[in-house]
Amino acid sequence: MNMKEKHLSDAKRFLLTLLATTFSIILTFGTSAIIERRHKAAAKKEMAMMIIYDFDKTLEQMQHADSLFYQAFKAQQEVVLHPELFDSKRSSYMSVFSLIYTEFSETTEKVFSSNIETFNTLGNANFVHEVSAFYNMRHSYQETVLDVFKKNASGSEINQSIEKLLKFDFPEYYFHSRLCLLAMQKMRNRCAQMMKVSEEDLKEFSRLRAVVEDDSEEYDLELKQLSDEYLEAIIIVGQAQKKLEQEKQTIK
């Protein structure tokens, strides 16, 4: 091999090595970029499903409240037309008072609103705006419907007389509740569409969440049982101590 051929061979080997190295770098970084994009997309969808799942829980509570307000509203109307139904319709308008215990969980909302990483992960300004609007309306519903109802329901005694029943503004609660419910259902559906979250995705997410929530409920029951046993033990010990004191006084 002459000198010229040797130089060509070295140059060819160098180019092949350079190409191989370049290809390796591109492949490594390209694969990493693809994996990172997939992780970001998965995290984005997971966060969106967590928020929409929270929406669904809120809407379930609101639908229950709406049903009770409607039931009380219709019962009140029937009593207006037929006063003799006052006693027989009592359960229909009294069941709405269970709503005084209704509270919305704000855990997911706090995660959404207090962590800048949440906004970076979601990466969709329209979705963020819609979520904020949903939670703002939920606060409004709590304050203008549930809290006002709780305040007015306290000591209302609507089951005591027709006059007191008719003074209670069930139509206002029902119509305000229904308007909020319909608006928030639309917000929820827009959010699901924006993030391309299907109902099948949400069903699977709900199934996994149900497992966690069942475990939590079981834990709560165990705590209650432990608390009951503790209180029972305290009572028994207290009674025993009292009995001993009485016996001492008798001996003296």
- Residue 115 belongs to what domain range? 3-197
In a domain, 237, yes or no: no
Q: Is residue 35 part of a domain?
A: yes
Q: Would you say residue 60 lies in a domain?
A: yes
User: Does 238 fall in a domain?
Assistant: no
* pLDDT reported for residue 252: 59
Q: Decide if 251 is inside a domain.
A: no
Total tally of structural domains belonging to the chain: 1
Rg (CA), the chain: 32
Q: Is residue 88 part of a domain?
A: yes
Residue 210 in domain = no
The answer to whether the pTM exceeds 0.85 is no
Confirm whether 225 is domain-assigned.
Answer: no
Q: What is the pLDDT of residues 170-211, one digit of tens each?
A: 999 999 999 999 999 999 999 999 988 888 988 888 888 776
Write the pLDDT tens digit of every residue in 23-39: 666 656 555 555 555 66
Q: pLDDT, tens digit, for every residue of 91-139?
A: 888 888 888 888 899 988 988 887 766 777 677 888 889 999 999 999 9
Report in angstroms the alpha-carbon separations of 57 from 12, 36, 144, 209, 225.
67, 32, 20, 12, 27
- The per-residue pLDDT for 114 is 77
* Other Cβ atoms within 10 Å of 9 Cβ, number: 11
- pLDDT surpassing 60 at residue 4: no
Nearest alpha-carbon partner for 131 in 203, 187, 179: 187
